Amino acid sequence: MADLKTGGSDTASLPGNGGELRQTAAAAEKRLTTNHGVPVSDNQNSLKGGERGPTLLEDFVLREKIQHFDHERIPERIVHARGSAAHGFFELTQSLEEFTSARILTEVGAKTEVFARFSTVAGGAGSVDTPRDVRGFAVKFYTKEGNWDLVGNDIPVFFIQDAIKFPDLIHAVKMEADRGYPQAASAHDTFWDFIGLMPESTHMVMWAMSDRGIPRSLRMIEGFGVNTFRLLNDRNEAVFVKFHWRPKLGLQSTCWDEAVKIAGADPDYHRRDLYEAIASGDFPEWEFGVQIVTAEEADALPFDILDATKLIPEEMVPIRFVGRLVLNRNPDNFFAETEQVAFLPTNMPPGIDVSEDPLLQGRLFSYQDTQLSRLGTVNFHQLPINQAKGCPFQNFQRDGKMQTQVPTGRANYEPNSLANFGEAGGPREDPAGGFRSYGLNLDGSKVRLRAESFADHYSQARMFYRSQTPIEQAHIATAIVFELSKVTIPPVRLRVLANLRNVDEDLAKRVAGGLNMDLPPSSDAAVPPIDMEPSPALRIVGKYPPSLEGRAVAILVTDGVDGTAIDDVAKMVEAAGGTVKIIAPKIGGVMLEGGNKLPADGQLAGSPSVLFDAIALVVSESGTAELLKDSAAVDFVQDAFVHLKAIGFVPAAQPLLDKAGVTPDEWIVALKKGSKEFAKAAATRNWEREDQVRTLA
């Protein structure tokens, strides 16, 4: 090995920008390099054609880092490993022909087959459904012009601005490298260490710590394309676009304690909920919307539209709803479809194009590379779930592992002139109808820099927090307290608190109080945050009208009860759009007052109230006496009360309510024949009860 010492000094000469950088041999041993020993000058930014230009293919540092990350685990997905999916259709209701030539967005009334997959991010395939986490929301459209994969999340922003940081983010949130835990949890040292050092993550953290991180159902989450895309029309005119999915059932969440208990009672809670809803004909549905912005309008925004840590408030640019997604068929085989489906942001029909968003630019490479690793072949597009169905797919790419097609003829190259001699010449390019990229003018030098317009990391985080209702603000603060309480390195907690002071002083004080720590000085913000107008559209509470549609009500029954009382509650709930489950002490059911036997849908000990949106206690006096001896029955009632749910009851159930510590409010409803009060209460939670049942930050 060559001696690094030169001229009697222990320094080495390293090439730098505009001169030489002198570095000690000791420091050189600690420097970051590629896998082949090339020193890395910037591990924060990918190489772009100008500060706001597209990422360059020549960036071998980015490609090596992402490629290594993509191949770390097989065959399970590195992220989004635990997924649930369904078939369905997309129907366009309003044409966007003014903005795009894509037929999927111009042919009103046409129905396009789709396959949608929902997933958690941090956990492995064997983890549970209900941890605090981001949810993936990916839709594959089998369009007439090729597959379109809209690969997004249930949160409209992301943790990082540049794809080169994605491996670091996921390494930080995944199981810690030396101990292999925690699984599917962000409440640990390495995640918050990374977050505290990456102020750009602050906005996303607000979303993840909000109630959106613990959804009630996959049928009740919003979806977002996250990145900014372009639409191109036939005149080659381009506009920026953000894609949105809005659930017909409304946006709904659980309580944190409830989500934890659901994980123990039914690890497959979301998967089961989606499957059973579709199997019963209660098809989930979403509205499809777009926010369209011209380049001039984008330049006038107080943030950079290419920054994936930012959103466009609806009050600033309203969402135009132009279609609907309906999921109406469960997969026939989980592995063949849900596991083998391969989503690629590069799958876009003509008329849709990418932007220079550096997070998106990295995704364009990473997803394809990941599928090669997971599915083991360049021919993964031939798997039935991945095949283009709305149109033929044909080219001159041949052979490879797991080749299932049998191409005929001699031509496996292009151009060729075989058609002139009576042989098949194969497909040809289509200059008029083929995929087009927007003719972006590039200027500037090749740089590893973050655009100055990306430097504001706190204004939108502040807007999000201040847009929430007081209830939701308390939940965010309490969630951060819980997470940081799992952090064992005090300076990491202090660093996060210092960043939170740039978001909202009250939030920082609440979190510090919950940790019993003194507030540190505010961290230095690259750009001082500004006060943006609150956006009520970012709330959950009060955003959607109360409804029992898509919700389940449990009726706890015992021997000796009047069957007509059960029927009355069931009819009331079903008339309001809800479903009913009969819960009994034993799975065999109960003997009704008249001598008939009523089957049960679930056993009390195995069907806790956390699995339902409201409960009704239709019990006899003798049955109540037995339930008072059963902790599962007491927990059934107590948890429903603590989780702010409606409780309907017959007079005989009063001793059980008393033992469970239930105090009267408008959501504790005496069941009366023909009364609709219980169904009305069951459609929402009583957030005002929360102060009595738990301590919030």
Q: Which residues pair with 39 in a beta bridge?
A: 33
- Which residue in 45, 87, 147, 153 is the catalytic one? 153
Single-letter amino acid code for the residue at 2: A
Cβ pair 611, 269 in contact under 8 A = yes
CA angle 314, 108, 292 (to 5 degrees): 25
Measure the CA–CA gap between 667 and 391, rounded to whole angstroms. Answer: 54
Alpha-carbon distance of 626 to 620, in angstroms, equals 10
d(CA 249, CA 289): 16
CA distance 549 to 413: 56
Rounded (5°) CA angle 325-327-330: 160
Give the H or E element holding residue 635. helix 631-642
Strands 646-649 and 579-584: unpaired
Q: Of 83, 663, 86, nearest to 332 (Cα)?
A: 86
Q: How far is CA 59 from CA 34, 360, 516, in A?
A: 12, 15, 46
Query: Tell me, what amino acid is at 396?
Result: F
- Please give the radius of gyration of the chain, using alpha carbons only, rounded to the nearest integer: 28
Strands 19-24 and 238-247: unpaired
The 3-state DSSP class for residue 365 equals helix
Is residue 87 among the annotated active site residues?
no
CA distance 7 to 14: 15
Distance CA 125, CA 625 (A): 43
Do strands 135-143 and 146-153 pair parallel, antiparallel, or not at all (unpaired)?
antiparallel
CA distances from 25 to 22, 28, 363, 478 (A): 10, 5, 36, 47
Burial class of residue 267 in the structure, from the number of CB atoms within 10 Å of its CB (0-12 exposed, 13-18 middle, 19+ buried): middle
What is the secondary structure of 300-335 as a DSSP string? HSSS-TT-TT----TTTS--EEEEEEEEEE--S-II
Distance CA 263, CA 259 (A): 6
Whether residue 182 is preceded by a cis peptide bond, meaning omega within 30 degrees of 0, is yes
Q: How far is residue 134 from each of residues 222, 250, 410, 467, measured CA to CA in Å?
A: 11, 18, 49, 20
DSSP 45-110: ---EESTTSPBPTT-HHHHHHHHHHHTSSSSS-SSS-SEEEEEEEEEE-S--TTT---GGGT-TT-
- Is 236 labeled as catalytic in the residue annotation? no
Which residue from 681, 679, 644 is spatially nearest to 569, judged by alpha carbons? 679
**CA neighbor of 11 nearest in space, from 21, 42, 19, 1:** 21
Q: What angle do CA 304, 305, 306 make, to 5 degrees?
A: 90
| Catalytic residue (choose from 45, 80, 87, 502) | 80
Q: Give me 145's structure tokens.
A: 């012009």
Question: Could you give the residue numbers annotated as active site?
Answer: 80, 153
